[in-house]
Structure 1
Amino acid sequence: MRRSMIEGQVHDKTGIENVHGKPRKVQHDFHFPHSHSVKIKQRTGARRGQQDEELAFLEAEVRAKSSETSESPKPPPHALAATLINRGVNLDPLGKWTKVGLVVYDSQVPLGATPEYQAGHYMIQGASSLLPVMALAPRPNERVLDLCSAPGGKSTHIACLMQNTGLLFCNDANKERAKAIAGNLHRSGVTNACVSVMDGRKFPGAMGGFHRVLVDAPCSGTGVISKDPQVKSAKEEKEFQQLSNLQKQLLLAGIDACAVGGHVVYSTCSVMPDENECVVQYALNKRNVKLVETGLDFGEHGFTRYRHLRFHPSVARTKRFYPHVHNMEGFFVAKLKKFDGNQGKESKETEEEDESGQDKKNLES
């Protein structure tokens, strides 16, 4: 099977620093927080009045003229890297957290037009796009659903981890975007996938019983402001609310399409709590699911409280990623396990009791 990816990276405003901490200078324009809408500022404001953190996030939207590539087993990582270097591509390994990525700083050739790209040896996408698939951890011979698949970068990664076995359903509500999924799957040599065009909220009515479901939901894109500067001023209150409602419905649909004992990963490229922790909390309230560890050994814990909002203690198992902290686009990842009957409910209640007991001990000590 052939597969790879190319991805964009966000760097802080002081210059370019790669994953190994080596400074690299590039020319770029700075964007400062005064250009952000009041809503964006309010919603990204750090908890407990940490204005410095808010400022750092809002300024961390400078994007280097660079890309990253995650590789397939064919060719092996070192072989693809050597080939691209010979073509005049300046690159490095992406980082210790993944063995399938390269960060590209600049290139003498268009990365989307090389023979290797045309042959499906890599895909172009952001480093943070690897995170939800890593959390999903699909295995060979499983039934997997990518509910909001377009343009297909994560689907090709899933197929690679499944070793082109089992069955992968790649769904999107947009017919034109579904064509991009099919094109990327074909170019990457994926043979275990089907592409469907359906409103994701209705998918459980057509099919279910999946071992793993990825819900990479449509979002405000506040974690990828560097790609689309209009995000910082375009969103209004009602748009955030509409997105949050859609995300809640999609996550419930993903859970309903999942088999008992299976896992659902929810992700967005947003840093807004109402698109992340609030959505996950809604699912915990509405379905018999429990949050489990994502398996990602870096990133910040999800919020258990945000301003006036309070979330279940297990929401701390979700992961947040920020451009000014993790040198990648802003992202959120949560992993849930589906239970039958009262099993999940009982475990959540026990968890709450444990947390309450610990809080009591802390108060007494």
Structure 2
Amino acid sequence: APAKAKKTQPKGNHVELSSDGEGEEGSWEMEEEEDGSSEEMVDDYGASSSEEEELLPIEKAALKQKADREGLSEDDSEEEEEEEEEAEEASKQKMGQKEEEGPDLQLNVDIDGQFKLPTSEEIEKEDILFICDIHKPCPPDLHVIHQRIQGNMEVLQDFGVKREEGRSRKEYLALLRRDMATYYSYSDFLLAKLMDIFPLPELINFLEANEVPRPVTIRTNTLKTRRRDLAQALINRGVNLDPLGKWSKTGLVIYDSTVPIGATPEYLAGHYMLQGASSLLPVMALAPQENERILDMCCAPGGKTSYIAQLMKNTGMILANDSSAERLRSVVGNLHRLGVTNAVVSNCDGRQFPKVLGGFDRVLLDAPCSGTGIISKDPAVKTNKDEKDILRCAHLQKELILSAIDSVNASSETGGYIVYCTCSIMVEENEWVVDYALKKRNVRLVATGLDFGKEGFTRFKDRRFHPSLKSTRRFYPHTHNMDGFFIAKFKKFSNAIPQAQKEPAVEATAPPAVPDTVIAEPPPKKKKLEGSKADKEQKLPQLALKKKRSLQAQRRPLKA
């Protein structure tokens, strides 16, 4: 029951956030009940009757014990006991049917409590039992799978002692991946990718964190108000909130509210922006200065752009660009509402940007990605991504990051910085892209200026990246309670585009053929050529003399 209590949220706090962790305008409308009452805003920790029907007998018993301690009447407890007895009998009948159909499925744990790996025949029987009639769908027994995951994890943590004889680690991992994909509803491809990134205990924490929504956060617009004044105004309206953390001077976290957060007078007046905590970090890493020229290459829906504007105090110039004209509508609306006056909105393909306009002091590239860091907002990512999607995103990101670097002026007095970020945790979209940029352009990685976050990978499986990738930062939902995010900060030290990397490749292929042909044969050829040229030079004056003499001989008789 406590796990379900965490997942239940008041209807007034239901939020639809964009892929980069920023709230779209008007997405926080409260879903009022049909009778117009707002009693459901009160957090009752899952004690409503509608949820009791979904509870297991063990959970119902726990609720009954808790209710008895709080002093429920005997009549209520008798009614609950009758309901529980009926539910237990029904569950026993179901369990009896399952045991008759497949008794071997319950024998994964022996008498001593030691986990035993199921045989291939048992797994086939399990698959057959899960395939039922179309009219009577039969979901897998998640309790059995969850117990098997726990037992498998215990064996893998002390594999040398607890493993079965004759069974390899690969067999345990294959079963674990299959069970976790079934239990958490992930595709086999994505789960295999996650198993490469996280150690097994941390992977479970990551998968569990994706089942719970991230806290609702807002950013104070200091162009119009102060955080203290905004917090007091919202508290007066019945909002329960706290400062986001010591690392943010503008963020507030919303626990619950009796009013729709996306329609308060303060929101409509532009005093705050609905924005995920992780999307504040790239702007903090960019550290824009007043009177600079800044490019936000993929700006929709405008949360980061408006944050840059408030840090610049509406000075300088911001070019807010996005390739989607539809998403730019929300950008324009948010910039007007928040009072941003130093931004110019453009609708261009970011890959063409050095030709469109360049010479910026700083560039922020929040690149399009697979969204594997925001699964709690978009659960469809669990199953609708494959290898082609990841590589397609990585290719686009490599093109965009080169364009972003080329758009920066390395000789800028105050800038020359590029911040690259994604809401993905895939190495192919993060460290791989950054390492590619380091090889193709005159840039180096510098510290992001963020005091927390995990270091980026310098090695991943059989790949080795530049050691400076330690200065990049990764953020995870299970460790930082925010969307999965990756941030890297570059410093450009030369406007020249290096082309020397292509020449060594040509020279490297040429030398093998050179010793056999070029070195042995050319010297005599050169000598012959030189000799023939000398002979010609000597013969030329002799021919000229002969011609002159013949002409003279021809002219004499004519005179005579």
- The yes-or-no answer on 1:124 pairing with 2:124 is no
Q: State the secondary structure of the residue aligned to 2:321.
A: strand
Give the number of the structure with larger relative contact order, counting CA–CA contacts within 8 Å between residues 6 or more apart. Answer: 1
Shift of 1:26: 6.0
Q: 1: CA distance between counterparts of 2:476 and 2:301?
A: 23
CA shift in 2, pair 1:198/1:341, >3 Å: closer
State the Cα deviation string for residues 95-140 of structure 1 (Å, max 9, x = none): 1111110000111111111111111111112100000000000011
Task: State the match for 1:251 in structure 2.
Answer: 401
Q: Distance in 1 between matches of 2:374 and 2:289?
A: 29
Within-5 A mapping of 1:1-365: 34=182, 35-47=185-197, 50-64=199-213, 66-73=215-222, 74-261=224-411, 262-340=416-494
1:38, CA displacement in angstroms?
1.6
* Maintained 8 Å contact 2:370/2:393: yes
Which string of whole-angstrom CA distances, capped at 9 and with x for unpartnered residues, describes residues 18-60 of structure 1?
A: xxxxxx996699997531112221222255x721122211221
* Aligned residue number for residue 515 of structure 2: none
Q: Deviations over 1:49-80 (max 9, x none)?
A: 72112221122113448411111223111110
**Separation (CA, whole Å) in 2 of partners of 1:275 and 1:65:** 23
Aligned residue for 1:164, secondary structure, equals coil
Higher mean alpha-carbon deviation, 70-79 vs 286-295, is at 70-79
Distance, in Å, in 1 between the alignment partners of 2:429 and 2:44 is 35
Change (3 A) 1:343 1:247: closer
Asked if structure 1 preserves the Cα contact closer than 8 Å seen for 2:458 and 2:469, the reply is yes
Matches of 2:390 and 2:485, distance apart in 1: 16
Q: In structure 1, what is the Cα distance between the partners aligned to 2:307 and 2:435?
A: 28
SS of the aligned residue for 2:399 comes to helix
Q: Which amino acid in structure 1 is aligned with residue 347 of structure 2? A: V
Q: Looking at secondary structure, tell me which structure has more helix per residue.
A: 2
**Number of residue equivalences:** 325
Instruction: Find the aligned partners of 2:443 and 2:188 in 1 and give their Cα distance.
Output: 35
Q: Distance in 2 between matches of 1:71 and 1:25?
A: 30
Report the AA paired with residue 247 of structure 1: Q
Against the structure 1 CA distance between its residues 135 and 344, is the aligned structure 2 distance closer, same or farther, given a 3 Å change threshold?
farther
Q: Cα distance, 1:344 vs. partner?
A: 10
When normalised by structure 2's length, the TM-score is 0.55
Structure 1 segments of 4+ aligned residues over 6 angstroms from their partners: 6-9, 28-32, 341-345
Distance of 1:299 and 1:26 partners within structure 2: 32
Judge conservation of contact 2:215–2:482 (CA < 8 Å) in 1: no
Q: Name the SS of the counterpart of 1:116 in structure 2.
A: helix
The 3 A distance-change label for structure 1 pair 116 and 63 is: farther
Name the aligned partner's letter for residue 54 of structure 1. Answer: L
Give the distance between the partners of 1:235 and 1:343, measured in 2 at CA.
35
Whichever residue aligns with residue 317 of structure 2, its letter is L
Identity across the alignment (%): 56
When normalised by structure 1's length, the TM-score is: 0.84
* Aligned alpha-carbon RMSD (Å): 2.5
Is the contact between residue 263 and residue 338 of structure 1 (CA under 8 Å) also seen in structure 2? yes
Contact 1:7 1:69 in 2 (8 A): no
